Structure 1
Amino acid sequence: MGSLRVTGHGVDLGESLRGRVEERMSAIQAKYLDSHMHDSCNGHVTLRRDGTAFRTDCVLHLVSGLTIEANGFAHDARASFEQTAERLETRLRRYKHKLKQHATGPGDDAAIEAAYAVFAAPPEEDDEDAVEGDAHPPIVAESTKTLQRRTIGEAVTALDMTGSPVVVFVHAGTGRVNVVYRRSDGAIGWVDPPSAAE
């Protein structure tokens, strides 16, 4: 593996648990990733206390640009990590299967840059004395994000792989910006706005 950072927040990992995390992550990657992807893959595993239990978060950055996330929650730190590792393994298995099914030719993955901004969270309590003209929250960060050209199936796969609630992408067939998202009932929604000419 390229690099793996294992950290504990409020948790003393110890050599045994740290060794188990490194060993299992390496085995998962060797099983599901090609050697060139395995060697240049970066990851971070974080174990932390969450009330009386433990939460493990894992993020893998693949050389293809895909970020795969998984997390687990249990009353034991090792069990929390094992749950996370199983979820990560499932996502990598799906990713490998999709790669075999949808081998794309060169140039199919053209991407575009889109503006990206992070706004401050609204205040918890409503302030009736607030000026109505100041309805826009302040911008905390601005940058650009790359929107990948994908089919709907690939976008849904990215939604499953990342664990993110939403994926914004360029539709491979139409060239328009589309969105797939996880609905509150667990189903997947798809937004395909019409082009300006329609």
Structure 2
Amino acid sequence: MDIRVSGHQLDVGEALTAHAEGRMGDLAEKFSVGVTGSTVTLAPGPHEHEFDATIVVQLAQGLLMKSHAHAYQSAQAAFEGAYERIEKQLRRYKRKLRDRERKKPEAAAVESTYRVLQSHPEEDEVPEDDAPLIIADMDEHIPEVSVSDAVMMLDLKHTPALMFRNGQTGSLNMVYRRTDGHIGWVEPK
């Protein structure tokens, strides 16, 4: 397993690096859900004597789990807060992740391309100061999963929305986090 500990505008000492690597190694052994790598990033917070820690864990199923924590005492306290959150997520979804590993379907995903292109200037009636230039081109992996697995992936990735191919119907669906905190599900007819 690849474990990386780094500091962003912060010198991470050998003791903290060894502690973080040991804890992340223990986490992978404890839950045995196919952890392939993890990244721990420590940074100073926006105020004096404040620290931020972010942990990203890569799983064999292609999922990413992410946690973030603040602490006022030390960088190690921030790491421990983020570690507790990632451990809680793994504990919560451990059974689902193991079941998902066992049920690997043959055609599990479809690759798609997401593009946002700039329109032609002669078509725009908005003054140029009001229209920002937006150009994005990303390849996204669209998994073929059940609705409950899609909700789990939405929680683990900490994204506002997730498009997926419904395993039962074969159609493209989307789950998203609503402003009231609940989960919305879009299924085309």
Give the alignment's TM-score, normalised by structure 2: 0.83
Residue 86 of structure 2 is aligned with which of 74, 84, 88? 88
C-alpha distance after superposition, 1:43-70 (max 9, x if no partner): 2111111212211111112121111111
C-alpha distance in 2, partners of 1:63/1:102?
Answer: 11
Residue 169 of structure 2 is aligned with which of 153, 169, 174? 174
C-alpha distance after superposition, 1:63-88 (max 9, x if no partner): 21111111111112111111110111
Structure 1 residue 66 corresponds to structure 2 residue 71: no
Q: Which moved more, 1:91-100 or 1:12-21?
A: 91-100
Secondary structure of the structure 2 residue equivalent to 1:107: coil
C-alpha distance in 2, partners of 1:68/1:113?
Answer: 21
User: Which residue number corresponds to residue 114 of structure 2?
Assistant: 116
C-alpha distance in 1, partners of 2:9/2:151?
Answer: 35
Q: Is the 1:119–1:137 contact (alpha carbons within 8 Å) kept by the matching residues of 2?
A: no
Residue 138 of structure 1 is aligned with which of 134, 140, 150? 134
Aligned-residue CA RMSD (Å): 2.6
CA shift in 2, pair 1:30/1:180, >3 Å? same
Measure how far apart 1:107 and its partner are.
2.3
User: Which residue number corresponds to residue 24 of structure 2?
Assistant: 25
CA shift in 2, pair 1:137/1:172, >3 Å? farther
Q: Which amino acid aligns with 1:57?
A: T
CA shift in 2, pair 1:103/1:185, >3 Å? same
Q: Is the 2:61–2:101 contact (alpha carbons within 8 Å) kept by the matching residues of 1?
A: no
User: Which residue number corresponds to residue 188 of structure 2?
Assistant: 193
CA shift in 2, pair 1:152/1:12, >3 Å? same
User: Which residue number corresponds to residue 14 of structure 2?
Assistant: 15
Among all aligned residue pairs of Structure 1 and Structure 2, give the percentage whose two residues are the same amino acid.
36
Give the alignment's TM-score, normalised by structure 1: 0.80
Alignment size in residue pairs: 180
Measure how far apart 1:131 and its partner are.
4.1
C-alpha distance in 2, partners of 1:172/1:11?
Answer: 45
C-alpha distance after superposition, 1:117-176 (max 9, x if no partner): 4689xxxxxxxx8249x9574314x23211001111101111121222222111111111
C-alpha distance in 1, partners of 2:24/2:105?
Answer: 32
1:151-162, aligned counterparts within 5 Å?
Answer: 151-162=146-157
Measure how far apart 1:116 and its partner are.
2.2
Q: Is the 1:92–1:161 contact (alpha carbons within 8 Å) kept by the matching residues of 2?
A: no
CA shift in 2, pair 1:183/1:117, >3 Å? same
Q: Is the 2:5–2:17 contact (alpha carbons within 8 Å) kept by the matching residues of 1?
A: yes
CA shift in 2, pair 1:106/1:186, >3 Å? closer
C-alpha distance in 2, partners of 1:165/1:83?
Answer: 23
Q: Which runs of 4+ in 1 moved over 3 A?
A: 99-106, 117-120, 134-137
C-alpha distance after superposition, 1:17-68 (max 9, x if no partner): 111111111111110125xx24xx1221111112122111111121211111
Q: Which amino acid aligns with 2:22?
A: E
C-alpha distance in 2, partners of 1:193/1:91?
Answer: 30
